[in-house]
Amino acid sequence: MGRAVVVATCALNQWALDFEGNLERIFRSIDIAKSKGARYRLGPELEICGYGCSDHYYESDTLLHSFQVLEKLLQSPATQDIICDVGMPVLHRNVRYNCRVIFLNKKILLIRPKISLANAGNYRELRWFTPWSKARHVEEYFLPRIIQEVTGQETVPFGDAVLATNDTCLGAEICEELWAPNSPHIEMGLDGVEIFTNSSGSHHVLRKAHARVDLVNSATAKNGGIYILANQKGCDGDRLYYDGCAMISMNGETVAQGTQFSLDDVEVLVATLDLEDVRSYRAEISSRNLAASKVSPYPRVKVDFALSCPDDVAVPTCMPIQWRHHSPEEEISLGPACWLWDYLRRSKQAGFLLPLSGGIDSSATACIVYSMCHQVCLAVKNGNADVLADARRIVNDETYIPKDPREFCKRIFTTCYMASENSSQDTCKRAKLLAEQIGSYHINLNIDAAVKAVVGIFSVVTGRTPQFSVCGGSSRESLALQNVQARIRMVLAYLFAQLTLWARGMPGGLLVLGSANVDESLRGYLTKYDCSSADINPIGGISKTDLKNFIQYCLENFQLTALSSIMSAPPTAELEPLVDGQVAQTDEADMGMTYAELSIYGKLRKIAKAGPYSMFCKLINMWKEICTPREVASKVKHFFRMYSVNRHKMTTLTPSYHAENYSPDDNRFDLRPFLYNTSWSWQFRCIDKQVNTL
């Protein structure tokens, strides 16, 4: 009868400009799709060149190599008898578009340019691409000669059209178009399109997955149809981690779910679905049918091919499933761990070095590395040959098989406690115990000699010796002495990262991990070029509150009992002298605000787009039970003073895993000045005026 269609979607760990590797992963996905009987295969956005090429999109080389990869795909017997839908940049009439190239049996059926470009937050697509603005319009695209020689076609359709096969009709969306208020699937569905496809480059943010799933399911809940979503996965060379979650939905319900976090480079979902279920679902929606009778038709590209088989009455079809979401603590355990693994294997380094202070932030970073080791051992146990090959190369042992996370951790992870005369025995013991429990190679060292040498140079040159505040020095002297300690630790971290393995008679070097959380970065509570300066930072986009919950999760799930005392200890930088052998300095006292308050300030500043006055107006209601308006005003002013004084530090912030939408990352996400008038005179005067009226 020709009603059961077999379709495939995938999540691929593509890498920007890795044309060789990207092609290999595309071929693997097509092979898997065909082996499972699929007649249509959808891949992620810009999968041929990798999504994160950024300004490399300006280069003609990127376009050339993308077409060379397309040539290989068209020529290959692997792509025969299956509609392949791949993503790449295309230059049409000297305008660059983000496109889907859909082909079958060495013939290009349609090049479909993206209509709505992502241009907020981490996305800058309008910098490199132009949106296709000609709705339901198709033009001729003249193919490059290398493609003409394969397809025998001089021109192919380019524009906003749909495919009409012998048994159904397919229409494409690209990533952002699903999120747009006027998504193309609405009118395509009214025009009889039964299968919607979406190739995405959607990155992970804590607590975001449900929004994507809800959008996909709602796309077909009102209008009926089959929705297929493909997504990029992994770290493709930047701060973002693309979290897979490929899925297939029908009539508002999920029928196939891919993993969100996985070390598999290629994941393919295949579903068999009954077109008659779509047609009967639509038949009883009278409002939909009335709207459909008035819709303007899409150009249809006729394809002499079917996604179903003639005799398919007995073919079983997929049933709805319940989507299982990860908790935020699981997301922190898995997402940054997968990102670290991609960074480690692709940078061809031999492991990580972490300055481990015994506090929550560095301990959380250590736990993420330990989680990564768990994921590697699990992937190898499940037969992932790619992960095994990468692990063997990293440890420089062709016979090695990672089975025990602690043993693997010992090989690739070095932790270092850098004590000073201001460090307590408690933090030293906590760091050592955690290192023992996760299995890292642990180093204890003392930085006092280096600190005294640096301060001594200053004293020789100036004839003055700075003192801490508790010893009679000024705040300037005390801060400078704290910063010297912090910066010495950064210098030593890089020295040991470069030479620790050499000293142990092992090859390679280590990547230095940072451990400043998103709240401290927002407040600027870090020393420029201290241990917050590293190669990468897996927790730089995660709040202190979430990190505390993650520590509790690790305590319970990894049985890391050392975390219990770390959880209960007050956060401290340990840069000022001890008082009676005990730590007198705490982070929240230094900052003049709590971590809970910082998270609120961050969300209001970035997500709610609140300046000082708007933030004050929102907080007098949020905090009316605990603060007077004058106290709220004082807190808001203090935050904005500290934020603006320290904003310059964001220009040198270590590349961090992006997990939170109030990240202050200055690179491309949070674009603001780094030289402010820190008095905020006009804004604060508005606050004062409002306080006086309350």
Question: DSSP assignment of 489-513, as one string?
Answer: HHHHHHHHHHHHHHHTT--S--EEB
239 in any annotated domain: yes
Specify the CATH number for the domain of residue 429.
Answer: 3.40.50.620
In a domain, 602, yes or no: no
The more confident residue out of 571 and 529 is 529
Whether 118 and 226 map to the same domain: the answer is: yes
pLDDT at 578: 64
For residue 158, give every residue at least 6 positions away whose Cβ sits within 8 Å of its Cβ, in sequence order, or none.
90, 92, 110, 111, 113, 138, 139, 140, 141
Categorize the per-residue pLDDT at 575 as very low, low, confident or very high, splitting at 50, 70 and 90.
Answer: low
Contact between 341 and 388 (Cβ < 8 Å)? no
Q: Which residues, at least 6 apart from 265, have a Cβ–Cβ distance to it below 8 Å?
A: 12, 13, 25, 28, 234, 386
Instruction: Tell whether 352 and 233 lie within a shared domain.
Output: no
For residue range 593-627, what is the model confidence (pLDDT) as tens digits? 888 898 999 999 999 999 999 999 999 999 999 99
| CATH code of residue 88 | 3.60.110.10
Q: Regarding predicted confidence, which is higher, 583 or 136?
A: 136
How would residue 649 be classed by pLDDT, with cut points 50, 70 and 90?
confident
My answer on whether 199 and 269 are in the same domain is yes
Q: Burial, 457: exposed, middle or buried (Cβ in 10 Å; 0-12, 13-18, 19+)? A: exposed
Domain match, 279 and 377 both: no
How many Cβ atoms sit within 10 Å of the Cβ of residue 165? Answer: 24
- Lowest-pLDDT range of 382-386, 437-441, 494-498, 597-601: 597-601
Look at residue 315 in the predicted model and tell me its pLDDT: 82
Average pLDDT, the chain: 94
Supply the DSSP string of 324-367, one letter for each residue.
Answer: -PPPHHHHHHHHHHHHHHHHHHHHT---EEEE--SSHHHHHHHH
Same domain, 388 and 485: yes
pLDDT of residue 179: 95
The structure's pTM equals: 0.94
Q: What angle do CA 20, 21, 26 make, to 5 degrees?
A: 100
How many domains is the chain partitioned into structurally? 2
Going from the C-alpha of 468 to that of each of 279, 472, 482, 642, 687, the distances in angstroms are: 77, 7, 9, 22, 36
Identify whether 403 is part of a domain: yes
**Residue 532: pLDDT above 70?**
yes
pLDDT at residue 434 is higher than 60 = yes
Tokens 């530090």 belong to which residue? Answer: 649
Domain assignment present for residue 568? The answer is: yes
The answer to the question of residue 552 being in a domain is: yes
Structural domain boundaries enclosing 165? 4-302
Full DSSP string of 24-87: HHHHHHHHHHHHTT-SEEE--TTTTT-GGGGGGGGSHHHHHHHHHHHHHHHH-GGGTTSEEEEE
Confidence band of 476 (pLDDT split at 50, 70, 90): very high
292 in the same domain as 413: no
DSSP β-ladder status, 40-42 and 4-12:
parallel
Residue 1, pLDDT > 60, answer no
Query: What's the pLDDT tens digit per position in 373-411?
Result: 999 999 999 999 999 999 999 999 999 999 999 999 999
Residue type for position 600: I
- Is residue 250 pLDDT above 90, yes or no? yes
Using CA atoms, how far residue 669 sits from 120, 240, 346, in Å, is 8, 11, 24
Q: What is the DSSP letter of 585?
A: -
Residue with tokens 């030479």: 499
- Is the pLDDT confidence value at 581 over 70? no
Assign 206 a pLDDT band (cuts: 50, 70, 90): very high
Q: Are residues 67 and 141 in the same domain?
A: yes
- For the segment 173-184, the average pLDDT, to the nearest whole number, is 96
Distance CA 197, CA 190 (A): 15
Confidence of residue 689 (pLDDT cuts 50, 70, 90): very high
The reply to whether 659 falls in a domain is no
Do 234 and 332 belong to one domain?
A: no
* Co-location of 258 and 152 in the same domain: yes
Q: Is residue 544 part of a domain?
A: yes
Closest Cα partner for 519 from 571, 584, 481?
A: 571
Lowest mean pLDDT among 182-191, 221-230, 595-604: 595-604
Whether residue 309 is predicted with pLDDT greater than 90 in this model: the reply is: no
What is the pLDDT at residue 364? Answer: 97
DSSP 666-689: TTTTS---SS--TT-HHHHHHHHH
Catalytic residues: 45, 114, 175, 357
Mean pLDDT along residues 651-663: 89
- Is beta strand 162-164 parallel, antiparallel or unpaired with respect to 4-12? unpaired
Decide which of 591, 614, 644 is a domain's last residue. 591
Q: Tell me, yes or no, whether 272 and 344 share the same domain.
A: no
Provide the percentage of residues in the chain whose pLDDT is more than 90: 84
Q: Which helix (H) or strand (E) holds 448?
A: helix 448-462
Task: Kindly report which listed range (108-117, 260-269, 466-475) carries the lowest average pLDDT score.
Answer: 466-475
Is pLDDT at 579 greater than 70 in this prediction?
no
Residue 51, pLDDT > 90, answer yes
pLDDT at 563: 96
221 closest CA partner among 167, 281, 154, 169: 281
Q: pLDDT-derived band of residue 140, with 50, 70 and 90 as boundaries?
A: very high
Query: Of 556, 571, 591, which closes a domain?
Result: 591
Cα angle at 233 between 232 and 235, to 5 degrees? 110
Q: What share of the chain is helix, strand, coil (3-state, %, to 5)?
A: 45, 20, 40
Statement to judge: residues 200 and 347 lie in one domain: no
Structural domain includes residue 555: yes
Q: What pLDDT does residue 422 have?
A: 87
**pLDDT of 572 above 90:** no
Determine the straight-line distance between the first and last CA of the chain, rounded to whole angstroms: 74
Helix axes 544-557, 360-381, angle to 10 degrees: 50
Handedness of CA 533, 535, 541, 545 (dihedral sign): negative
Q: 158 and 207: one domain?
A: yes
* pLDDT at residue 568 tops 90: no
Which one of 563, 591, 619 terminates a domain? 591
User: In terms of DSSP bridges, do strands 226-234 and 247-250 run parallel, antiparallel, or are they unpaired?
Assistant: antiparallel
